[in-house]
Amino acid sequence: MVNLPLAHDLLWGMTPAQLPADAPQWAVAALAAGHPVVVRRALSADGFVAVGVRGVLREQRLAAFMPLDSIACRVSPEALCQVECERDLPVMQALKQLRPMLDDCGWVWGVSGSVGFELASGFAAMHAASDLDLILRTPHIIGRNQARELVALFDQTACRVDMQLQTPFGAAALREWASGSARVLLKNAHQAALVIDPWNPQEQAA
Catalytic choice (88, 133, 155, 197): 133
pTM: predicted TM-score of the whole model, two decimal places: 0.92
- For residue 34, give the nearest of 54, 14, 5 by alpha carbon: 14
113-143 confidence digits (pLDDT tens): 999 999 999 999 999 999 999 999 999 999 9
Q: How far apart are CA 79 and CA 111, in angstroms?
A: 8
Contact 185, 192 (CB under 8 A): yes
Upper half-sphere CA count for residue 165 (Cβ side, 13 Å): 26
Annotation marks residue 133 as catalytic: yes
- For residue 121, give the nearest of 58, 54, 61 by alpha carbon: 54
31-64 confidence digits (pLDDT tens): 999 999 999 999 999 999 999 999 988 899 999 9
- Positive or negative, the CA dihedral 16, 19, 20, 24 is negative
Catalytic choice (88, 131, 162, 197): 131
Sheet of 48-54, strands arranged across: 61-67, 48-54, 37-39, 10-12, 73-75
Burial class (CB in 10 A: 0-12, 13-18, 19+), 131: middle
| C-alpha separations of 121 from 62, 131, 205 in Å | 18, 18, 45
Q: How far apart are CA 5 and CA 71, in angstroms?
A: 10
Annotation marks residue 22 as catalytic: no
Q: How far apart are CA 127 and CA 167, in angstroms?
A: 30
Average pLDDT of the segment spanning 163-172? 97
| C-alpha separations of 179 from 38, 102, 150, 154, 183 in Å | 29, 21, 12, 14, 10
58-116 confidence digits (pLDDT tens): 899 999 999 999 999 999 999 999 999 989 999 999 999 999 999 998 899 999 999 99
